[in-house]
Structure 1
Amino acid sequence: MSNQPPYPPQQPGWGNGGQQPYGQPPFQPQPPKKRSVGKVVGLGCLGIVGLFVVIVIIVAAVGGGSSNNDSSGSPKSAAPAGKSSDKAADDTKKNDTKKDATDGKAVFKVWGTAPAGALGGLDIGYGSDSDMRKGTFKDGRFEATLTLDKHALYYDVHAQLQGSGDINCSVTVDGKTKKGHASGGYNICNAQLSSNFTGGWS
């Protein structure tokens, strides 16, 4: 038998060694906070209603901008029937036909009076920066057409008088035209259209 005194029985509780200090109640954990279900549902409903209102406003604004009705609610007619609408249609048809005739083409013209001089008749050159040609002036005019090259930097026509005369010249590319004029002596009529960054001609 051991002479050591027996250990006192341990009390359940808190503290060092599982012992509860005297005079203090045991520590109680705080209960979890309850979430307010009503607030969450209310905010969710408010958000949905707000979104619906915004959509209705956007639809009304877009629909109102493209409305074709007058203040009485009756639809507006597109154009009054009669001679004015027929004339507009005819003008559009003529413009389309004119554009189609020169679409994808370069047209060069020289016209006027140009008597032959000591060096011969009127000296004409036409074409692009990579394809220049010689033209012949006959019966007071010259005209030539080339297929448009999309890589060309410019199209040009020039005509030099041989001592006297009065001439005009023009170059037309995709419906755009530039003109020139020369009179007397050895002056040169020149017209040129250059390609620009937008794919057009100026």
Structure 2
Amino acid sequence: MNQQNPQEPNPQQPGWGGPPMPPGHNGPPFQPLPPKKSRGKAIGLGCLGVVGLLVVVAVIATAAGGGGDESGGSGDVAPAASTAEGEQPATEAKPSDKAAGTGEAEKKKAKVVVFKVWGTAPAGALGPLDITYGSDSDSRQGKWKDGGFTATLPLNDDALYYTVTAQLQGSGDIHCSVTVDGHTEKAHAAGGYNLCHAQATAGLLGGWD
């Protein structure tokens, strides 16, 4: 019978790391079971889940509240007003266009031909002055009144000339003129049945002579 050293641990005795090994067992020593998970970690993870759920609920509630404000109409009034105010300068910028249009209208209005006769012209046997005016395609009769005569016609760019003629009836002293696009032609007649004849002719390169 083998005697065991009291100093050496006996694997078959309890209290040395595990239950006693059966006789003749040559396997590895007893491996203790892994420790159980800490309850504190499980509790901490549960608390984090609750906090996360509360945050999600708060975000949903905030989004719902913001959507209600947008659909309520009170939040839409201010942007509409600002947009309207923002569009005002664009509508007020149109007077410059109107001014340009007015300038063009005045320019077109200025393009007229002016005919004038003035001076002293006593009436003769056939009456007062005999006045004719117009263009190469439009001739008209004028009337002497209160010592003068004035008439206007629209400027026709295709006209070859514009003219005015006044004939005295026995005596008098008169002047006549025709103005086309800023250019004026003048003439003079005195005594008898003389003619006062002024004519502006279209130039070959544009303008009036």
- Greater share of residues in helix: 2
TM-score by length of structure 2 reads 0.48
TM-score by length of structure 1 reads 0.50
Q: Which has the larger radius of gyration?
A: 2
